[in-house]
Amino acid sequence: MRAFEYASPSAKEEAVRLLSGMAGEAEVLAGGTDLLSLMKDDVLKPKRLVNIKAVGELAGIRFDAKGLRIGALTTLAELMSEARVEKEYPALVQACAGVRSPQIQAMGTVGGDLCQRPRCWYFRGGFGLLAVQSGKSMVVDGDNRYHAILGNEGPAYFVNPSSLAPPLIAFGATLRIFGPSGRREVALEKFYRTPKNESEKELALGPDEVVTDILVPPAAGRKNATYEVRQREALDWPFATASATLEMRGTNIMKARIVMGHVAPIPWVAVESQRLLEGKELTEELAAAAGDAAVQGARPLSRNGYKVQLARVAVKRAILRASGKEV
């Protein structure tokens, strides 16, 4: 690992000041479970690390009339252990539980999970976010087993790695971000973007900005769940996930939000599935049809066609789990 400066501010204003003027040369350190790996692999080469763990206002979980506030420094273990979160937002707890390592649950933060970089082995191997060489994508003709099947018209083929983004987007969560101009808020769904060139990043976050809070609207009785399809129970990233929130009247679905993970460069909102579900009585057949609708536009690459079926199953199972009809 290369040498770097280390700073540990106690206020978010000081953290932003330490990041300012060092675009590409300074990184925010929280749990460090992703950042330190990138530094060890020489993918990121910061000259300064700004440790925000001493900024007390970025920690903690609070409920109020506006819903749930999660501090960016809240660990996955802390979120999982909050009884009211487990009761009202089980989709979040299920997503945290999908991170199979107790060590990462204890160290990894909610803000870090939302901001982690793609797990694409071309990116991690130092070939850039889009893995383009001589004007041609290395992914298309290479080993693309774990790459995108949706939103992959090019040139981005990596998948968004966040465990918590799909359920939080399904709840309509908002991010609070602090930077030189003060506080701003952005819908989490808009925080992720598909880069068109190597100069663009996949996160709508400035180099001198810090995520401070995640604001989640009240669950308000919405049934919700996350379902993931994985190869093994040991620590690894899943092949496909889906999170569902359902507003129901009896057995009828009045409103639905379905968001898939690990299938596209951004958390993928299954708009056609939502339309199909709304206003209908929930049955296993309807859930299966919603799974079919979710992958209608899939464009599998040469070696990842299997993910289409897995994504279809994840959507079906998330809907059934949310409604209590899981089989």
Q: What is the CA radius of gyration of the chain?
A: 19
What pTM, to 2 d.p., does this model score? 0.97
Q: Where are the domains of the chain?
A: 223-323
Tell me the one-letter amino acid at 318.
Answer: A
User: 231 pLDDT exceeds 80?
Assistant: yes
Could you count the other beta carbons within 10 Å of the beta carbon of residue 162? 25
Helix (H, G, I), strand (E, B), or coil: what is residue 315?
A: helix
Q: Please give the C-alpha separations between residue 250 and each of 89, 123, 128, 287, in angstroms, as whole numbers.
A: 20, 47, 50, 16
Share of the chain above pLDDT 90, in %: 95
What are 15-62's pLDDT values in tens digits? 999 999 998 899 999 999 999 999 999 999 999 999 999 999 999 999
250-276: pLDDT as tens digits? 999 999 999 999 999 999 999 999 999
Count CB atoms within 10 A of the CB of residue 63: 14
Q: Domain 223-323 has what CATH class?
A: alpha beta
